[in-house]
Structure 1
């Protein structure tokens, strides 16, 4: 006679690895939210740092460099939009050191961007938003917040 075992579909708080059905579902929803947020942030970073191609030079600039042409207010608007990426990183659970590094990138970009002409050239070259999103993606991939886009390892061909 076979013994049937019932499976409890509720979240077991004693299970640290969340092997229960509800725990897996919650982890998958959290991961999907993080991935969707990261895609949205990557779009914003691309718009801010690399949306437009300068013909002849083949150099990409974004809205941050264009806004920087407006004295004072343009740089302030760029810093505010860049700060949204830092806010979302904090919301996704990034550690304080990473949030601080991202904030320093934004502050450095904003401080140098205030300088007329040289700041505009620096805005076109530094690309703080793309750096910040790359840092956030790398952190989330290493810590299991999202699935990695590149699998690290070495491939071996087996001829048989």
Structure 2
């Protein structure tokens, strides 16, 4: 039985329907923004913050992963305005992250991927209500 990120990736659907796209986007946002908690706190962080600790390259990789969400939004038929707003969020996050070491700090508070997920969910809830999933409470 696989655990961790490998298990999550294995279980993601590959279809092009809105419900499958929603699940992939939600998984990407979770990976980038809240995959683990800082020890001793309740503050969730993700790969986006960790990658920002690698000057230049890490920030660019995180931005490319965030851009994937905007690409999936385009596949959903979202408006150019919504996609431009999402691109602006990713670009702003990338620009902050380009500041070596210090750039990871704003990333803790400006969560571009969470903002973009909110934009996508609003679109999906309005145009594809059947894609809504009930979130399961955490096991523990």
TM-score, length-scaled by structure 2: 0.78
Aligned residue runs from structure 1 range 28-107, under 5 A: 33-107=17-91
What's the RMSD between the two structures over aligned residues?
A: 1.7
Q: Which runs of 5+ in 2 are unaligned?
A: 1-15, 134-140
Helix, strand or coil at the partner of 1:66: helix
Matches of 1:35 and 1:99, distance apart in 2: 19
The higher radius of gyration belongs to: 1
Q: Which runs of 5+ in 1 are unaligned?
A: 1-31, 151-160
Q: Could you tell me how far 1:37 is from its partner in structure 2?
A: 0.7
2:99 is the counterpart of 1:115: yes
Q: 2:129 aligns to what?
A: 146
Whether the aligned pair in 1 keeps the contact of 2:22 and 2:131 (CA below 8 Å) is: no
Helix, strand or coil at the partner of 2:44: strand
Q: C-alpha offsets along residues 85-135 of structure 1, whole Å, 9 cap, x if unaligned?
A: 001101110001100110000000000111123310111221111111111
TM-score, length-scaled by structure 1: 0.69
Q: How many residues align?
A: 118
Report which structure shows greater RCO (CA 8 Å, sep ≥6). 2
